[in-house]
Structure 1
Amino acid sequence: MANNDFSWSAVVGKVVINTVSHPLEYAKVLIQLGHEPIPPYPTRTLFGRPALALPSIFQYVAHIKRVDGLAGCYRGLGAKLCSVVVSGYVYHCTLDSVRDASDTDVDAETEDLSPQLRGEKFAREVRQMALARAAAVVASQPFTVVAVRTMAQFVGGEKIYVGIFASIGEIYREEGIMGFFKGLVPRLLGELIALIISSTFTHFVNNLLVKDREFQSYVSITSSYLATSLTYPFQVVSNCMAVANTRLAAGNPPYMPGYTTWGQCWRHLGATGQLKRGSSLLWRYYTVLPAA
């Protein structure tokens, strides 16, 4: 039985948002994979120092459009939307199944609980949300892999992953079941760490500092943004591992080292200062990578 909080209208809203923003997300994924097709150009930083600038996200999207046309800006959209829908549905269904019947009885009286009971209730809710989030990530990862690989084809101009079902068949033939879960561990860790950071920050601020209900909603939004920013490197590593050592040019030298584990990918990107690539979408500066 689906969670009462689950709403197909909310899913439709997410689908619309993801469709409208997909060209930007597409360019962001290519940047995360390390693909920079436009040479850096001389500029100055906000402090007036000379630097080499990389194109903004909007310039990157314009480049994709020049190469592939407007329709090309929507590569991977179908698989991405499947990932969004599956993730949302599995999250709410799992959350519904792990919640205790007593949770709803306590919700209306949360403010009257003692600090100890509040803490116990918070810990229980975080465990439940973590289980639901883990299930959602695992269930949607195959579609995420298809989406990322479809977008990564821009780098080498391949046509290996065309259509959701054909792409699923291609991955299964080449890599078996495990191919659908490449990049799962860093993505799962990032999602769970972000959930714990965001929930913990919101809980303590709203219980100790902020009493105004309207302002508490802003605290939740802010904590979610900060947590996502802190765990951003996990997203970069996950997307890199989704294409590493595949038949795509984007996943092999010279575009990408031959990563065999996500830990190796993390260490290399960390050593070269690339763990946050794609996080800044407007002001991007070229960094001279250290010699191998």
Structure 2
Amino acid sequence: MADTWSQLYLGAGLTVLSHPLMFVKVLIQVGHEPIAPVMGRNIFRRPVLQLPGLFTYAKHIVKIDGKRGLFKGLTPRLCAGAIGTLVHGRVLQVAAGSTSYQDMKENECTEMEKIGDEPSLQRVFDETMREMIARSTATIVTHPFHVITLRCMIQFIGRETKYSGIFSSVVTIYKEEGFLGFFAGLIPRLLGDMISLWLCNMLAYIINTYALEPPSQGSQIGELRSYSQAVTGFLASMLTYPFVLVSNLMAVNNCGLVGGLPPYAAVYTSWVDCWRQLSREGNLSRGNSLFFRKAPAGRIYAADQKRFV
């Protein structure tokens, strides 16, 4: 139980610290560019037209809404994080046949002693399956809070107050969109999570098994093996970023807010339609980078509309 509470406190702290970054990222993902691009230089010292980075964008938000403005949507996101942690941990316990977190850890240690330090492909497959089930369950349960979080954020664009609290937001979504409104953008989010998880674990297994020697043959090799999971996780998240972008766009699409309606944003018939349109426009990586952002080619900046047209 103590481990669960420590995870909740740590998760809440990280959520608060990272929330301004997520807020800026979401606004960039939906295409909100309130600051005119400036002429800068890329890594090759060539002049390029650059969009504002994270800090410039954050200063713009603070100028309009103050420092508290950077934390729009924080409450539903904290709820999602806390509930997701509890659900994820409980599902893992059930999948492992344990009654508590401590029992689950003891079972893992016993299994490792039987198998040895070298993970087998079957063991990696079983662990990945359990993790996939736990993550998917937590994502489905907490997705309504994720939708509310995103909509609270994009209200910054049109200066609306439609989504001002969790309970009022729940009522609004149910009245306007029905039960399915709480799960807008869920499918691409689940697909991205599952693909990222399997890519990460399988790549780590391949690297540890075939590219690196067993840890007993050198401490430096052992250290490299310990970092392989982090490296492969980063690569997997980069490859599956379009799923994150499409999921977020579908969560706010046609929701009655300026940021999700024409002429500011297109109305997509499905997440596949959203993916195809972004692909045609070359925008499947929009918002992936928060620094050194190059202005889209062939776009004209309209100062009166505060966005690209």
Give the TM-score normalised by the residue count of structure 1: 0.92
Asked whether 1:58 is paired with 2:61, we answer no
Match of 2:270 in 1: 261
Letter matched to residue 174 of structure 1: E
SS across alignment from 1:125: helix
Q: Quote the Cα distance in structure 2 between the aligned partners of 1:267 and 1:59.
A: 31
* CA–CA separation in structure 2 for the residues paired with 1:112 and 1:140: 35
* Amino acid paired to 1:89: L
Q: CA RMSD in A?
A: 2.1
Secondary structure in structure 1 of the residue aligned to 2:49: strand
Q: Which residue of 2 aligns with 1:69?
A: 66
Q: Within the alignment, does 1:23 sit opposite 2:45 as a pair?
A: no
In the alignment, the residues of structure 2 paired with residue 15 and residue 216 of structure 1 have an alpha-carbon distance, to the nearest angstrom, of: 29
Amino acid at match of 2:34: P
Secondary structure of the 2:40 match is: strand
Deviations 1:188-212 (A, max 9, x none): 0111110001111112222332433
The reply on whether 1:237 has 2:246 as its aligned counterpart is yes
Task: Say which SS state the counterpart of residue 33 (structure 2) adopts.
Answer: coil
Q: Deviations over 1:7-29 (max 9, x none)?
A: 22122112111101211110011
Q: Which amino acid aligns with 1:173?
A: K
In the aligned structure 1, how far is the partner of 2:265 from the partner of 2:228?
A: 39
SS at match of 1:43: strand
Which of 162, 165, 168 is equivalent to 2:164?
Answer: 162
Between 39-48 and 179-188, the greater mean CA deviation after superposition: 39-48
The separation in 1 between residues aligned to 2:234 and 2:111, in whole angstroms, is 28
Q: Aligned in 2, Cα 1:10/1:48: closer, same or farther, shift over 3 Å?
A: same
2:186 maps to 184
Distance (whole Å) between structure 2 residues aligned to residue 283 and residue 290 of structure 1: 17
* Secondary structure at 2:160 match in 1: coil
Residue 100 of structure 1, CA deviation: 4.6
- 103-112 vs 62-71, which moves further: 103-112
Do the aligned partners of 2:242 and 2:284 also contact (CA within 8 Å) in 1?
Answer: yes
CA contact (8 A) 1:24 1:58 kept: no
Q: Distance in 2 between matches of 1:39 and 1:167?
A: 33
Quote the offset at 1:290 in angstroms.
7.7
Counterpart amino acid of 1:153? Q
Matched residue count: 286
In the TM superposition, structure 1's runs of 4+ consecutive aligned residues that sit over 4 Å from their partners are 100-103, 289-292
Paired residues for 1:207-246 under 5 Å: 207-208=209-210, 209-212=212-215, 213-246=222-255
1:55-82 superposed Cα distances (whole Å, 9 cap, x missing partner): 0011111111111111111100011111
Cα 1:92/1:48, change in 2 over 3 Å:
same
Contact 1:64 1:72 in 2 (8 A): yes
Tell me which residue corresponds to 2:116: 111
Conserved 8 A contact 1:95-1:128? yes
Q: 1:284 to 1:210 in 2, by over 3 A?
A: farther
Q: Which region of structure 1 is more displaced relative to structure 2, 103-112 or 35-44?
A: 103-112
Are residues 1:80 and 2:77 paired? yes
Q: Do the aligned partners of residues 284 and 121 (structure 1) sit closer, same or farther apart at CA in structure 2, a change above 3 Å counting?
A: same
Does residue 12 (structure 1) correspond to residue 9 (structure 2)? The answer is yes
8 Å CA contact 1:272–1:290 kept in 2: the answer is no
How big is each residue's C-alpha offset from its partner over 1:149-198, in whole Å with a ceiling of 9 and x where there is no partner? 00010111110000111111111111111011000001101111100011
Q: CA deviation at 1:247?
A: 0.5
* Pairwise CA distance, 1:110: 2.7
Q: How does 1:265-280 map to 2 (within 5 A)?
A: 265-280=274-289
Matching residue's letter, 1:46: I
Residue number in structure 2 paired with 1:198? 200
**Percent identity over paired residues:** 39
TM-score (ref. length: structure 2): 0.87
CA 1:112–1:225 in 2, change beyond 3 Å: closer, same or farther?
A: closer
Measured in 2, the distance between the counterparts of 1:262 and 1:63 equals 31
Distance (Å, rounded) in 1 between the aligned partners of 2:51 and 2:191: 30
Structure 1 residue runs without a partner (length 5+):
none
